[in-house]
Structure 1
Amino acid sequence: MVKNILFVLSLILISCQGISQKTTEKENKDEYKISKTDKEWRAELTDMQYYILRKAGTETAGSSELLDNKKEGTYVCAACETPLFKSSYKYDSGSGWPSFDREIKGNVAFDVDYKIGYERTEEHCATCGGHLGHVFNDGPQKTTGKRHCINGAALKFIPNE
């Protein structure tokens, strides 16, 4: 009898999905203005862009060519070129990733991510759903207090003319 109870309890525990296993990636890509198959995204993006934008990966800190970019312009989604951040919003957070104190309203969408075992606010392109990074509440207090910590490979920079 005890063996049967332990067996049933084991099955229940094994079948339970922990919160850290939940994913917030949208299953229905038709919710976005730009929707492509996985094969199409693979053909259009570099390996690193695909890993970050489509698989919610993270580039190595300090590896982005855009990290120290000080030119004036707009940072756009590397997948669909939706304008996401203005250069005037960029600041050096010391985190190793391009950081901004705000987004271009309406072009960045937010979701909750539990991938590392606790709640974080994930950012993705509102047009194609590409993963950008995360937003934290430890940014510049003189502006928004937000730190949009963005993977450089998820962005392209368009300089002002």
Structure 2
Amino acid sequence: MLLDFLIDYAWVVWVCLILIFLVIEVFTLDFTFLMLAVGSVAGLAVSFTPIDFWLQIVIAALVAVLLIFAVRPSLIRRLHRGDDPTLSNVDALLGQPATVTADFVGANGYVKLLNGETWTARLTPTSSSHPLEIGDRVVVVSIDGATAVVAPAERTAP
């Protein structure tokens, strides 16, 4: 019964698969489901010939796999060709030098980053225990919420 339905209405199955893959592609934007949709189009085209349904599946799968390995990589490269390599947000702050603007009390204080922003700061637990004073140079190691975790900058010999 189900097999007879698939044989008689294989085109409906292929159209449904095409629509499902295209909807998923809209949300993922990875081109994988687009290739599966195009493979399903090949299955749809073959469904109008007297080929068995299992062979339609094989043809659709082969077309999809071929597209995933042959076409998708070049589409991905073209999509990312104009990307801006500049770091932003928290990524741009990591490794940035800063200057202590208020003496650290315990392990907490304030620093002014190279970009001009003033942040609350906390000394990394692995840093030396000597207190940081106004004017000392530090480097941002990580960001914890709205607090810059800093480590003393290595001093260069005079």
Shorter chain as normaliser: what TM range? Answer: under 0.3
Q: State the TM-score, normalizing by the size of structure 2.
A: 0.27
Higher relative contact order structure (alpha carbons within 8 Å, sequence separation ≥ 6): 1
Structure with the bigger percentage of helix: 2
Q: State the TM-score, normalizing by the size of structure 1.
A: 0.26
Considering only CA atoms, is the larger Rg found in Structure 1 or Structure 2? 2
